[in-house]
Amino acid sequence: MLKDTDLSQKISKEEYKSNEKELEYKLARLQRRARELKIPVIIVFEGWDAAGKGTLINDLILPLDPRGFSVYSTFTPNQEEALRPFLWRFWRHIPRRDRMTIYDRSWYQMVLNERVLGHVKKKELPEIFDDICSFERQLADDGVVIIKFFLHISRKEQKKRFKKLRENSCTEWRVTKEDLKQNKRYDKILAAADEMLAESDSAFAPWTIIAAHDRRFAARKIFNTVISALEEAINKTEKNPPVRSKKTPGTNEITEENANSSILDKVDLTRSYSLEEYRSKLDKKQKRLRELEHEIFVRRIPVIIVYQGWDAAGKGGNIKRLTEKLDPRGYRVIPVSAPNDAEKAYHYLWRFWTKIPKAGHIAIFDRSWYGRVLVERVEGFCSEEEWKRAYREINEMEKHLTNFGVILLKFWLQIDKDEQLARFKDRESTEYKRWKITDEDWRNREKWDSYKTAVEEMLQRTGTSYAPWTVVESNCKWYARIKVMDKVIKAIEESV
């Protein structure tokens, strides 16, 4: 692919100047219109060192309103970034719906520099490419315009540019030993880049190869490509505006397959412990959890525990007993409620990605990303297309986490309708519990059957080999607490 690129392409200064201002004005106008339509844009610059990425990025952003974009430079991950899945730092910087993010190098460094340096093994590449393509598809499905450039120069041209930079005392610092090694490894990197381009070129995130020997030719092609992509996205949005706030309750169809394979109806809710049995087990389990918390910290193993369940199923009490004797510096409980306005401005997974724990720590989600296929589905806070797409997106996210080494545990706390009613009434009649019951709880109860359908499908479609669900019999809170602790202890023991 790269070998077939004509690097001799160039345009004269006069030709470039002939429509330079026209292109700049057009790009600025399109940026404003994209902001009005809340179209997020990602522009990726990859390519050889000394290919002119910095200069060309500067050419591109000069006509733009600086309040509408951010430039994120990606180099070797720092200590904070290295302790999390490699896509974490890029999720943190995805653009808001009315903004643009320009990446000076990106997630593709994992299959370029990291691979060539031997930090990534060849057998790991298919998994990494899957993660990257899933990431880009999720963003594109959510309306993000993704434009990817690879700036290509020859080995001879790169060597010449390095020499010129080193001859000037003001620029010699820009050429490192690693840069010079890159020139010596040119052929090896070229092969890796060709593979990268072939494996990650897609309709939703295509690559554009830029012959970068001539700066004016490169700048013109970059401008035209960005303008074309923005025009296409704007025309599409103007013809079919996205409907994100229209409230249309999700479907409640129960298929024959679901009716005959109900997971929840098969749960034995009579399982219980006496108070004496519960107390005898609780102290022992909590002490073991404290020991294992130290083990995962020493071994740098991240743990994510997801709690979902019916209102009044006992999530709060379960979390409290799970964490009661843990070192508070080693875990974080993350309560999840409806997204606020700031969070709604991003892809729905963004607010969860930003809270992924670093290696050696525990994150406990009291409700989670599964709100997309539960509350948002049933209440109509997202479209049917969005919640149906979410099953794949969630599975891909969890696969990326577990590929990194995350111990991921997911619990559904199951109670029956009569037990929920009894707990609601107890909350209403007990002064210190009254804050726990709201009008929304009663409204949700009226939609029990709709939620049950959504839960059944969630369990079936997101219970995977790498991130299985555990349904916890929770009519007896004591039994539920011990069962969760047992599952957590077992999962961590098997990993350490």
Could you report how far apart the first and last alpha carbons of the chain are, in Å?
45
CA distance 411 to 309: 8
Buried b (16+ CB within 10 A) or exposed e, 384-413: eebbbbbbebbbbbbbbbbbbebbbbbbbb
Q: What is the mean pLDDT of residues 28-57?
A: 97
Q: Is the pLDDT of residue 261 over 90?
A: no
Confidence of residue 254 (pLDDT cuts 50, 70, 90): very low
Residue 243: per-residue pLDDT: 65
Q: Is the pLDDT of residue 249 over 80?
A: no
Q: Which of these ranges, 150-159, 178-187, 333-342, has the smallest mean pLDDT?
A: 178-187
> Do 277 and 481 meet the contact criterion of CB atoms below 8 Å apart?
no
DSSP result, 349-399? THHHHTTPPPTT-EEEEES-GGGGGTHHHHHTSS-HHHHHHHHHHHHHHHH
Q: Is the pLDDT of residue 50 over 50?
A: yes
Which 3 state secondary structure label does DSSP give 73?
strand
Q: Which helix (H) or strand (E) holds 487?
A: helix 477-495
> Do 487 and 327 meet the contact criterion of CB atoms below 8 Å apart?
no
Close Cβ partners of 106 (under 8 Å, ≥ 6 residues apart): 44, 45, 46, 74, 90
| pLDDT, tens digit, 9 for 90 and up, residues 376-398 | 999 999 999 999 999 999 999 99
> Structural domain boundaries of the chain?
13-239, 256-495
CA distance 301 to 17: 56
Confidence of residue 252 (pLDDT cuts 50, 70, 90): low
CA distance 154 to 159: 9
Q: For 166, how many CA atoms within 13 A lie in the half-sphere containing its CB?
A: 11
> Do 321 and 290 meet the contact criterion of CB atoms below 8 Å apart?
no
Whole-number mean pLDDT of the chain? 93
> Do 465 and 399 meet the contact criterion of CB atoms below 8 Å apart?
no
Q: For 211, how many CA atoms within 13 A lie in the half-sphere containing its CB?
A: 12
Confidence of residue 259 (pLDDT cuts 50, 70, 90): very low
| Ramachandran region, residue 399 (left: φ > 0; alpha: ψ -120 to 50; beta: rest) | alpha
Q: What is the mean pLDDT of residues 286-300?
A: 97
Which 3 state secondary structure label does DSSP give 11?
coil
| pLDDT, tens digit, 9 for 90 and up, residues 444-479 | 899 999 999 999 999 999 999 999 999 999 999 999
Q: What is the mean pLDDT of residues 163-185?
A: 91
Q: Is the pLDDT of residue 260 over 70?
A: no
| pLDDT, tens digit, 9 for 90 and up, residues 262-279 | 899 999 999 999 999 999
Residue 466: per-residue pLDDT: 97
Confidence of residue 178 (pLDDT cuts 50, 70, 90): confident
Residue 40: per-residue pLDDT: 98
13-239: CATH class: alpha beta
Q: Which two tokens stand for residue 485?
A: 């602790």
Residue 493: per-residue pLDDT: 97
Dihedral pair phi/psi, residue 64, rounded to 5°: -85, 155
> Do 151 and 46 meet the contact criterion of CB atoms below 8 Å apart?
yes
The larger pLDDT score, comparing residue 114 to residue 244, is at 114
Q: Is the pLDDT of residue 158 over 50?
A: yes
CATH topology of domain 256-495: Rossmann fold (3.40.50)
Q: What is the mean pLDDT of residues 279-308?
A: 97
Q: Is the pLDDT of residue 312 over 90?
A: yes
User: Using CB atoms within 10 A of its CB, is residue 85 exposed (0-12), middle (13-18) or buried (19+)?
Assistant: buried
CA distance 42 to 266: 47
CA distance 144 to 346: 10
